[in-house]
Amino acid sequence: MKDVMLKIIGSQITRDEGDERMEFITEGKYVEEDGAVLLQYDESELSGIAGCTTSLRITGDKIKMERCGSLIGVDTAIEFEQGRRFKGYYDTPFGSVAMEVLTNSVVDNIERKNASGYLDIDYNISLKGLTESRSRLKIEIM
């Protein structure tokens, strides 16, 4: 396990209101195990889910993101794989909401030898009955 600094950039892309962007730098962990890379970091108040830990397991062209912590009653998991749909539940402090994610693209530009580079995920997310949006998550290992 290696301690790393991570730059997290989350964007919500909308046609009418412009892009909404959140960016923060945090300490994280980098681990290579069984041919996969695991990135882990604690969310901040800026993300709106302070007290939660986010883990990303990168295996080939597939990424599994899990969030767990005191603010969500049940762990939330999302899988990203280009061109694939993922159905699951997004847990909030007010209950679970049915969710569907369509991954537009995944760019894994992480250099395993020196634990550097970035991960870029572009996806559409629909929270049943609440919202639909296009989002982008970029994580840079500094």
CATH number at residue 95: 2.40.128.20
Going from the C-alpha of 41 to that of each of 2, 55, 65, 141, the distances in angstroms are 12, 7, 11, 12
The residue written with tokens 């969030």 in the block is: 67
CB 64 within 8 A of CB 77: yes
Q: Give the number of domains in the chain.
A: 1
Give residue 73's domain range: 2-141
Which tokens go with 141? Answer: 């290992």
Paired tokens of 112? 């395993």
Half-sphere exposure of 52 (CA within 13 A, CB side): 23
Dihedral pair phi/psi, residue 54, rounded to 5°: -110, 130
Q: How far is CA 53 from the centre of its chain?
A: 11
Residue 123 has which token pair?
A: 């996806």
Q: What angle do CA 113, 115, 119 make, to 5 degrees?
A: 115
> pLDDT tens digits, residue range 13-64?
877 666 788 899 999 999 998 889 999 998 877 666 667 899 999 998 899 9
Residue 73 scores a pLDDT above 70: no
User: Mean pLDDT across the stretch 112-129?
Assistant: 91
pLDDT band at residue 129 using 50, 70 and 90 as cut-offs: low
Task: Count other C-beta atoms under 10 Å from residue 111's C-beta.
Answer: 10
